[in-house]
Amino acid sequence: MASVIEQCQVAPSPGSAAELTLPLTYFDHGWLGFHRMRRILFYKLPISRPDFVQTIIPTLKDSLSLTLKHYIPLAGNVACPQDWSGYPELRYITGDSVSVIFSESDMDFNYLVGNHPRDANDFYHFIPQLAEPKDAPGFQLAPVLAIQVTLFPNHGISIGFTNHHVAGDGATIVKFVRAWALLNKFDGDEQFLDKEFIPFYDRSVIKDPNGVGMSIWDEMKKYKHMMTMSDIVTPPDKVRGTFIITRNDIGKLKNLILSRRPNLTHVTSFTVTCAYVWTCVIKSEAAIVEEIDENGMEFFGCAADCRAQFNPPLPPSYFGNALVGYVARTRHVDLAGKEGFIIAAELIGEAIQKRMKDEEWILSGSWFKEFGKVDEKRSVSVAGSPKLDLYAADFGWGRAEKLEFVSIDSGDSISMSLSKSKDSDGDLEIGLSLSKTRMNAFAAMFTHGISFL
C-alpha cells in the first residue's frame, strides 16, 4: 500500500504560453479509445522520509513546473465536443496543471524491482489515477497526464506516470520524462536541455490529402465511452515477469534464421526477439487450455515511429503521435510447431519490410484499417521500443533500477513490453503479464529454447 504525503497540482512555470491548442491528426484519432498508458520507474536511493519531504519533493515540483513550460500540452486536456460534431483537440489554458501525488510505502522495494513473477496488483499502488472528464461550454475536458512519486524509506523512490496516448506516443513521453530528469538533476538549468528535448508543435507538417483523419474520427465516434476510460481496473490473477535476452543470444537467433532463410533481408534484433517471444507465448497456452483450434489465426502487432518516413521527414522532436502499425498473421499450428520461430521471424520481418518505406500506405490510413481485422483475443502486441531509453532518465539519483509497463495488463490481447536493458548495451528487456500457470510455462520455454542456441 501507499499512504499519501501530499497531493498537489503543478502548473507550467511563469513565462509559459498563456494558451495552446493543437488539432489532432489522423495519427492521434485512433488512440482516443485506447486504454491509458501507465509506466513506473524505480530508483535505488536510501533516503529518509524527512529528507524526501524537505529536499526531493520541492525539487521535483520545481523542475516539473519548468519542464511543463516546454511540454505545455501535458498540463492541459483533450477537449472533445459534447455533441460529437467537431473534432477533438489538445488544449491548454492558463490555470491548467498536472495532478501529482507524493506518497510513502512499506512494501518490499527489492521484490518490486525483481525479474521474477510478481503479483500484478502490487504495482497499482504506485500509479496515479487520471481525473474523470469535466464539462466545459460545448466540450468535455479530459486531463492527459498524472504523476505519482512514492518513497520506500531507506531503499528507493518510484515515479509512476499515467498518460492519455492521444497526447503523444512513446517518443514524446520519453523525451518529456528525460527532460524533467535533466532539469531536476541540474537544478533547473535549461542549458542542459538539448534540442532533441524541445518539442516541435507545428501540426501542419502532417498532410492528410485523403481525409484519413475524418474517416478515423467517424469510426471513433462509435465509442461514446472513450472519454471516461481513465479508471484503473486491477488485473485478476496475473503476475508480471521480466526476461533478459542478451546481445549474444540475439546474434544466435539471427544466425539460426539466416541459416534457414538466407534470403531474408529484415533480420533485426527487434524482429528475432519479437518472433521468439511470440512463439513462446503461443506454445505456453497449452498449459492453461485443453483444446486449441490449430487452424485458428494468430496475430502479432507492433507500431513503428514513422517520423523519418515522410518526405520531408518530421522533426525527431515532433510532439504527438507518429506511429503506424504492422500486423503479421498465421495459423496457430504454424507457430506451435518446430518451425514456429522461423515462420514468426519471416512473417514479422516481411510485414515491416513491406511497409516501412511505403508513404502511400501511411497517407491512405491502411494501417488503421488493418488493425480493425485483428482478433484481440488471439493477438500479441508490443509496448515500448528499444530505441527509447527510459533507463537513461537520471533525476540525479543515477540510472533507473527498473522500468515497468503497467499498462500491458490492460485489454484482451497479450502485450509484451520491450526496452533496452538496464545494465548492458545490446541486451533487451521483455516484460509480460500473464496468469501464474502460463507465466511458468512461458518462462520454461523461453529459458529452454535459449539454452539450446
The residues carrying an active-site annotation are 165, 394
> Taking the CA atoms of the chain, what radius of gyration do you get in angstroms?
22
List of E strands, 283-366? 297-305, 323-331
Rounded-to-integer distance, Cα 324 and Cα 364, Å: 11
Beta bridge partners of 157: 43, 151
- Looking up cell 499498462 gives 407
Q: Position 205: which residue type?
A: V
The 3 state secondary structure assigned to 332-343 is HHHHHCCCHHHH
Residue pair 213/25 in contact by the 8 Å Cβ criterion: yes
Residue pair 201/319 in contact by the 8 Å Cβ criterion: yes
Rounded-to-integer distance, Cα 179 and Cα 193, Å: 7
Q: How far is CA 266 from CA 270, 339, 351, in A?
A: 10, 18, 9
Rounded-to-integer distance, Cα 341 and Cα 329, Å: 13
Length of the chain: 453
How many helices (H) does the chain have, and how many strands (E)?
Answer: 13, 18
For residue 245, give the C-alpha cell.
Answer: 535476452
Beta bridge partners of 78: 90, 142
For residue 409, give the C-alpha cell.
Answer: 495488463
Instruction: Characterise 150 by phi-psi region: left (phi > 0), alpha (psi -120 to 50), beta (else).
Output: beta
Maximum separation of any 2 CA atoms in the chain, in Å: 64
Rounded-to-integer distance, Cα 451 and Cα 253, Å: 11
